[in-house]
């Protein structure tokens, strides 16, 4: 059955509107990098444009999947590291973009964005939502960047992941979300273990790493 012409027109209009919204948000971000409220507001615009959007891949490919935009996101992580709301929204944007677009994953991998994601988690160790969005983005990055991942510091990431498991495993309220973080941390660990031999051998050839796996 052929698609209804009106549906095609609506789909095309929706794609255009989504791209325009993201581009407008980034234009305002670039104009006010140091203004926390402006940064938060415009990041939320990007989240709303991408969340549950069946055309997210096309939108990300044509707006966010560039070295310039990826570097801007990394810069925002560093500039507003202590702002929990901003770090959460940055994590959401990066996570949504990573899961929507392989092109964005590769650009972020070339910029070694896992360093910013680690910094994000380290700055807000007790924020479940910051940890969650950052871990989801980290999992996607580590799964797809088989070349760039060899630049990662595996032991530092291992320490971070085991620390997350230790902090959230026995939390009773909110128990379900806390335990979901433990599962996410394990998934990131699996993504690291599935990485090329260079990173994998560094990660799992020391006694501490072996003990973690045996627990």
Q: Where do the domains of the chain lie, and which CATH numbers do they carry?
A: 5-214 (1.25.10)
Q: What is the pTM of this model?
A: 0.84
Q: Cα–Cα distances in Å, from 15 out to 2, 23, 103, 187, 192?
A: 20, 12, 18, 32, 34
Instruction: Please report the pLDDT score of residue 207 as a whole number.
Output: 45
Residues 6+ apart with CB under 8 A from 93: 43, 46, 47, 50, 64, 73
The candidate with the shortest Cα–Cα distance to 24, out of 5, 56, 57, 49, is: 49
How many degrees, rounded to 5, is the angle at CA 101 between CA 5 and CA 90? 115
Q: Which pLDDT tens digit goes with each residue over 98-121?
A: 999 999 999 998 898 999 999 999
In the numeric block, which tokens belong to residue 196?
């090329």
Instruction: Please report the pLDDT score of residue 78 as a whole number.
Output: 98
Task: Find the mean pLDDT for residues 179-188.
Answer: 94
Residues 6+ apart with CB under 8 A from 159: none
Averaged pLDDT score across all residues of the chain: 86
Q: Which pLDDT tens digit goes with each residue over 6-58?
A: 455 447 788 899 999 999 999 999 999 999 999 999 999 999 999 999 999 99
Residue 212 reports pLDDT greater than 60: no
Report the C-alpha gap between 192 and 194 in whole angstroms: 5
- Residue with the larger pLDDT of the pair 215 and 55: 55
């Amino acid at each position: 059955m052929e698609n209804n012409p009106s549906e095609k027109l609506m789909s095309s209009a929706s794609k255009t509107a989504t791209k325009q919204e993201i581009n407008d948000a980034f234009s305002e971000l670039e104009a006010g990098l140091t203004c926390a409220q402006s940064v938060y507001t415009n990041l939320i615009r990007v989240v709303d444009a991408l969340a549950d959007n069946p055309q997210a891949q096309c939108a990300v490919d044509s707006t966010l999947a560039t070295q310039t935009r990826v570097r801007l996101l990394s810069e925002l992580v560093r500039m507003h590291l202590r702002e929990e709301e901003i770090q959460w929204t940055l994590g959401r944007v990066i996570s949504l973009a990573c899961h929507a677009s392989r092109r964005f994953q590769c650009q972020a991998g070339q910029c070694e964005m896992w360093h910013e994601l680690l910094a994000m988690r380290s700055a807000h160790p007790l924020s479940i939502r910051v940890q969650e969005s950052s871990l989801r983005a980290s999992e996607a990055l580590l799964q797809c960047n088989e070349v760039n991942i060899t630049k990662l510091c595996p032991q530092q990431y291992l320490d971070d992941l085991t620390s997350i498991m230790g902090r959230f495993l026995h939390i009773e309220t909110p128990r379900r979300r806390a335990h979901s973080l433990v599962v996410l941390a394990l998934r990131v660990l699996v993504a690291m273990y599935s990485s090329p031999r260079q990173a994998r051998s560094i990660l799992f050839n020391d006694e501490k790493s072996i003990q973690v796996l045996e627990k």
